[in-house]
Amino acid sequence: MAEGINENKNSAAVPNVKRRIELLDELRGAAVFCMVFYHGFFIVGYNFKIDFFKDLFDFFTPVQPFFASLFIFICGISSRLSRNNIFRGLRLAAVAAAISGFTVLICPLVGIEDADILFGILHLLALSILIFAAAQPVIETLNPIGGAFVCLLLFAVLYGVRDGYIYLPFKSVSLPESLYSHYYLFPFGFHTADFYSADYFPLLPYLFMFLAGCFAGYYFKAGNIPYVFYNRHVPFFGRLGRISLLVYVLHWPVLYLLTLIAVKISERF
């Protein structure tokens, strides 16, 4: 839950009273909004073979890591504020498993191709939350600024893992091919040549973006953030952010169904 303690002396609110951090909801909602459109372009372009939407999908692909990383970072902040990360992680893992089962087993039966989600963003977040829950006692003893900096640095260095290399200053280094010969290593970013997941966010590097958010969450939990974070700016994004899990679960089938209806109607005219 995007909550925090407001200790701003200029605020009319009573100190130490928990208030919702509205800006986190709005940023999460904005990231989800971008995600829905991005996946919509994929569905219409590649599942229904409409070239214009293929071009839109390809055009926006370079910015997809930015709004996805924002979503993951905010989840890390929220985990620092949560009272029960084990429950949150297990609940999200159950949802992620259900999505995998649906996309692998059901989608092919109804004619939806290339929809398999074996390790998507929900799988990543579920495991990341559980890892944080286990490591939280240690993380809370570390310097939050230093921890966030190291995690962001590791994120940058490991960003190319799923493509077979890591980034070092002024050069990239290829990783051993043997790492990519075992199918079961795909959750870590090491995958075989025939591996496919329509939504793929491996632990390397994205776990470190999540942990960077956890370190940043120290300041949110302590209330050491500007008062503007508690104000509402774009209510639509705020509402969307508060139901982000529901939106993620439903947006694929809803977008596919709406597109299918639109295509069937257009064929009659």
Distances in Å between the Cα of 110 and the Cα atoms of 3, 46, 97 are 41, 16, 20
The residue with greater pLDDT, 49 or 192, is: 192
Q: Which pLDDT score is estimated for 260?
A: 82
Distances in Å between the Cα of 234 and the Cα atoms of 25, 48, 78, 269 are 10, 33, 19, 39
Distance (Å, rounded) from C-alpha 84 to C-alpha 81?
A: 9
Strand partners, 6: 17
Q: How do residues 77-107 score in pLDDT, each as one tens digit?
A: 999 999 999 999 999 999 999 999 999 998 8
Strand partners, 168: 171
pLDDT at 3 over 90: no
Question: What share of the chain in percent tops pLDDT 90?
Answer: 74
Q: Which pLDDT score is estimated for 253?
A: 83
Task: Say if residue 144 is preceded by a cis peptide, omega within 30 of 0.
Answer: no
Distance (Å, rounded) from C-alpha 69 to C-alpha 159?
A: 12
pLDDT at 11 over 60: no
Q: Which pLDDT score is estimated for 211?
A: 98
Which residue in the block uniquely carries the two structure tokens 């620092």? 80
Q: How confident is the model at residue 263 (pLDDT cuts 50, 70, 90)?
A: confident
Mean pLDDT (whole number) for 70-74:
97
Q: Which pLDDT score is estimated for 68?
A: 95
Q: How confident is the model at residue 257 (pLDDT cuts 50, 70, 90)?
A: confident
pLDDT at 15 over 70: no
Q: Which pLDDT score is estimated for 170?
A: 86
Q: Which amino acid is at 67?
A: F
Q: How do residues 214-235 score in pLDDT, each as one tens digit?
A: 999 999 999 999 999 999 999 9
Q: What is the mean pLDDT of the chain?
A: 90
Question: What share of the chain in percent tops pLDDT 70?
Answer: 93
Closest CA to 74 of 132, 134, 28: 28
pTM: 0.89
The residue with greater pLDDT, 268 or 136, is: 136
Note the residue count of the chain: 269
Q: Please state whether beta strands 17-20 and 3-6 pair in parallel, antiparallel, or not at all (unpaired).
A: antiparallel
Q: Which pLDDT score is estimated for 18?
A: 66
Q: Which pLDDT score is estimated for 7?
A: 41
Residue 156, Cβ density class (10 Å: 0-12 exposed, 13-18 middle, ≥19 buried): middle
Q: How do residues 163-217 score in pLDDT, each as one tens digit?
A: 999 999 889 999 999 999 999 999 999 999 999 998 999 999 999 999 999 999 9
DSSP code per residue over 134-147: HHHHHHTTS-HHHH
